[in-house]
């Protein structure tokens, strides 16, 4: 059973067997792979340099020859009382933390100056100092969980939240960024922020006049406030954020749209009730439209969001279908990026897990040809998902629909994938073949299917799988061979002892009651 097994029971549709269930996106606790490259960035460091020029507090003569003080000097100055030195030291720390390679986050933390910098955040009289401290803390918070924790434990949360309303836009923006890093760390800090009422002042920053760079930062921070599960963000927070997200999704900037989509994808990666909250906003048609965007950074999260929606109830899936997801999927199944193919196939597999009316729409919308193409020449990750599409389709489809599927040429690539180096995929295919045979039996076409399977070199592959090391694979293969390709049938007779000579015919009467 796939990694989703424990969840399957929870989402089980009545009357369907396990393989046909919608397969939720479940966080794998164990991953062998490198962290996914297509994920949205969790924490970001501010390494831009142009801000320096705008820095109003820099002394004229100094800006040209920057002397980098030692860490001890920084510590002394930060802890000292000289405001100018405080600023210079904070700035020096910020510069260290902003350098491209190996920022000395640990060393800075070890100086123990975080509480002091948090204190600087409150210096409404010294905007320069506020800004430098905010920047430095942002970059510390962009590190590992421990780094972020150091900032939070230094008391930064309330300080940054109040800075959201700073009259200086660059300070307010830097605070948004810092809060984004804190929220991105995980559900614990995210909820700590929400509990401190971060949302209203944050949302208040969004207006048609907000400069685009600032708006991107806000959107990203909002997306981190929607992110992470176990638990998922509180419902009333989500309800507050959603209208703004919908507004942002209409924006023309690709980055704003992309991060808004990511936010929606996090919100839908959850139980059906949460999916419903998103569906109720009527955002699905826009998301589907965005799935068709030329920009892969928009397509990826939009596809994820819609893909999550169709893990939900039949009704929720129907809403996605009505929004047009099936007309966009063919192109995505043929996308040049393997991850997109894979996500698209995963989405389709969950639609195929629905009732036969939805399966019919898969056929009507012309999804079978791209599915067959994907099965035969897609990337292996995508092929695996495509196998699930076929498996679910065969489980839930009517006999006519299954016939249509076979007619579309699915059998050849499906049988070829019996050579895949993945036991679970092989097992799923074998189970699917059994179901195809069940459909063929209903039509009295078993023999035809047998010939077809043999003709496509499937019989030989199934026969070889009888030597597979995996017990379940071996059994499934054996079962198909015995049932459909051997004709042998064993009877087990319970012999009754006869008397001498011939059998003796005699019966004793008993009371009958049927």
Partner 1 sequence: MELSDANLQTLTEYLKKTLDPDPAIRRPAEKFLESVEGSQNYPLLLLTLLEKSQENVIKVCASVTFKNYIKRNWRIVEDEPNKICESDRIAIKANIVPLMLSSPEQIQKQLSDAISIIGREDFPQKWPDLLTEMVNRFQSGDFHVINGVLRTAHSLFKRYRHEFKSNELWTEIKLVLDAFALPLTNLFKATIELCSTHANDASALKVLFSSLILIAKLFYSLNFQDLPEFFEDNMETWMTNFHSLLTLDNKLLQTDDEEEAGLLELLKSQICDNAALYAQKYDEEFQPYLPRFVTAIWNLLVTTGQEVKYDLLVSNAIQFLASVCERPHYKHLFEDQNTLTSICEKVIVPNMEFRAADEEAFEDNSEEYIRRDLEGSDIDTRRRAACDLVRGLCKFFEGPVTGIFSGYVNSMLQEYAKNPSVNWKHKDAAIYLVTSLASKAQTQKHGITQANELVNLTEFFVNHIQPDLKSATVNEFPVLKADGIKYIMIFRNQVPKEQLLVSIPLLINHLQAESIVVHTYAAHALERLFTMRGTNNATLITAAEMAPFVEVLLTNLFKALTLPGSSENEYIMKAIMRSFSLLQESIIPYMPSVITQLTQKLLAVSKNPSKPHFNHYMFESICLSIRITCKANPEAVGSFEEALFLVFTEILQNDVQEFIPYVFQVMSLLLEMHKNEIPSSYMALFPHLLQPVLWERTGNIPPLVRLLQAYLERGASTIASAAADKIPGLLGVFQKLIASKANDHQGFYLLNSIIEHMPPESVDQYRKQIFILLFQRLQNSKTTKFIKSFLVFVNLYCVRYGALALQEIFDSIQPKMFGMVLEKIIIPEIQKVSGQVEKKICAVGITKILTECPPMMDTEYTKLWIPLLQALIGLFELPEDDTIPDEEHFIDIEDTPGYQTAFSQLAFAGKKEHDPVGQMVNNPRIHLAQSLHKLSTACPGRVLSMLSTSLNAEALQYLQGYLQAASVSLL
Residues that bind partner 1 (CB under 8 A): 1-3, 28-34, 338, 377, 379-380, 420-424, 427, 444, 447, 451, 454-456, 460, 464, 468-470, 472-473, 486-496, 498, 501-514
Q: Distance (Å, rounded) from C-alpha 431 to C-alpha 433? A: 5
Whose Cβ is closer to partner 1: residue 53's or residue 471's? 471
Q: What Å distances lie between residue 449 and 93, 202, 428, 485, CA to CA?
A: 73, 62, 18, 11
Closest contact distance (angstroms) between CB of 129 and partner 1 is 42
Whose Cβ is closer to partner 1: residue 252's or residue 489's? 489
Whose Cβ is closer to partner 1: residue 229's or residue 254's? 229
Whose Cβ is closer to partner 1: residue 322's or residue 447's? 447
Closest contact distance (angstroms) between CB of 485 and partner 1 is 8
Closest contact distance (angstroms) between CB of 467 and partner 1 is 11
Whose Cβ is closer to partner 1: residue 203's or residue 339's? 339
- Quote the Cα angle for 357-280-238, to 5°: 135
Closest contact distance (angstroms) between CB of 336 and partner 1 is 10
Closest contact distance (angstroms) between CB of 179 and partner 1 is 31
Whose Cβ is closer to partner 1: residue 263's or residue 374's? 374
Q: Which H helix or E strand runs over 514? A: none
Q: Distance (Å, rounded) from C-alpha 110 to C-alpha 99? A: 18
Whose Cβ is closer to partner 1: residue 149's or residue 381's? 381
- Nearest Cα neighbor of 250 from 200, 289, 204, 305 is 289
Q: Can you list the pairs that 45-54 forms with residues at least 24 positions away whose Cβ atoms lie under 8 Å?
A: 45/97, 45/98, 45/103, 45/138, 45/139, 45/142, 46/98, 46/135, 46/138, 46/139, 46/142, 46/174, 46/177, 47/98, 47/99, 47/100, 47/139, 49/98, 51/135, 51/170, 54/170
Any idea which residue has 């836009």 for tokens? 169
Closest contact distance (angstroms) between CB of 481 and partner 1 is 12
Closest contact distance (angstroms) between CB of 333 and partner 1 is 15
Report cis status (omega within 30 of 0) of the bond before 487.
no
* C-alpha torsion 215→221→223→227, nearest 10: 180
Under a CB-based contact definition with an 8 Å cutoff, are residues 217 and 171 in contact?
no
* C-alpha torsion 419→423→429→433, nearest 10: 90
* C-alpha torsion 36→40→42→48, nearest 10: 120
Closest contact distance (angstroms) between CB of 423 and partner 1 is 5
Under a CB-based contact definition with an 8 Å cutoff, are residues 48 and 58 in contact?
no
Whose Cβ is closer to partner 1: residue 19's or residue 175's? 19
């Amino acid at each position: 059973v796939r990694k989703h097994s424990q969840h399957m029971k929870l989402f089980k549709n009545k009357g369907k067997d396990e393989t046909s269930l919608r397969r939720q996106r479940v966080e794998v606790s164990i991953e062998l792979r490198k962290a996914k490259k297509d994920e949205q960035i969790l924490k970001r460091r501010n390494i831009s340099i142009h801000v320096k020029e705008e820095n109003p507090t820099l002394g004229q003569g100094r800006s040209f020859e920057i002397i980098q003080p030692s860490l001890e000097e920084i510590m002394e100055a930060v802890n000292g009382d000289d405001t100018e030195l405080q600023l210079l030291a904070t700035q020096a720390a910020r510069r260290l933390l902003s350098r491209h390679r190996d920022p000395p986050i640990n060393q800075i933390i070890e100086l123990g100056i975080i509480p002091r910098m948090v204190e600087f955040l409150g210096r409404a009289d010294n905007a320069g100092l506020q800004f430098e401290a905010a920047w430095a803390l942002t970059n510390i918070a962009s590190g590992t969980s421990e780094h972020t924790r150091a900032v939070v434990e230094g008391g930064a949360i309330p300080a940054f939240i109040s800075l959201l309303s700073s009259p200086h836009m660059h300070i307010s923006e830097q605070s948004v960024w810092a809060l984004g890093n804190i929220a991105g760390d995980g559900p614990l800090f995210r909820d700590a922020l929400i509990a401190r009422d971060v949302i209203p002042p944050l949302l208040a920053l969004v207006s048609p006049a907000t400069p685009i760079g600032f708006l991107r930062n806000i959107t990203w921070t909002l997306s981190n406030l929607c992110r992470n599960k176990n638990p998922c963000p509180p419902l009333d927070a989500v309800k507050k954020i959603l209208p703004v997200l919908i507004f942002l999704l209409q924006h023309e900037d690709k980055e704003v749209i992309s991060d808004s989509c990511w936010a929606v994808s996090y919100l839908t990666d959850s139980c059906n009730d949460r999916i419903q909250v998103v569906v109720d906003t009527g955002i699905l048609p826009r998301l589907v439209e965005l799935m068709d965007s030329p920009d892969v950074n928009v397509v990826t999260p939009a596809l994820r969001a819609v893909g999550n929606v169709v893990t939900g109830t039949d009704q929720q899936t129907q809403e996605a279908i009505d929004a047009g997801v099936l007309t966009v999927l063919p192109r995505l199944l043929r996308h040049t990026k393997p991850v997109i193919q894979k996500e698209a196939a995963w989405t389709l597999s969950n639609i195929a897990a629905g009732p036969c009316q939805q399966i019919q729409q898969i056929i009507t919308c012309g999804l079978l040809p791209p599915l067959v193409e994907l099965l035969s020449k897609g990337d292996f990750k995508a092929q695996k998902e495509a196998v699930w599409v076929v498996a679910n389709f065969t489980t839930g489809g009517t006999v006519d629909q299954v016939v249509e599927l076979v007619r579309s040429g699915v059998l050849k690539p499906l049988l070829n994938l019996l050579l895949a180096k993945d036991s679970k995929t092989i097992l799923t295919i074998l189970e699917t073949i059994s179901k195809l045979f069940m459909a063929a039996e209903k039509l009295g076409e078993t023999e035809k299917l047998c010939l077809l399977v043999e003709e496509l070199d499937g019989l030989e592959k199934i026969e070889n799988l009888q030597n597979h090391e995996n017990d379940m694979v071996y059994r499934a293969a054996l079962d198909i061979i015995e049932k459909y390709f051997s004709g042998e049938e064993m009877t087990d007779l319970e012999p009754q002892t006869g008397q001498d000579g011939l059998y003796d015919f005699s019966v004793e009467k008993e009371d009958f009651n049927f």
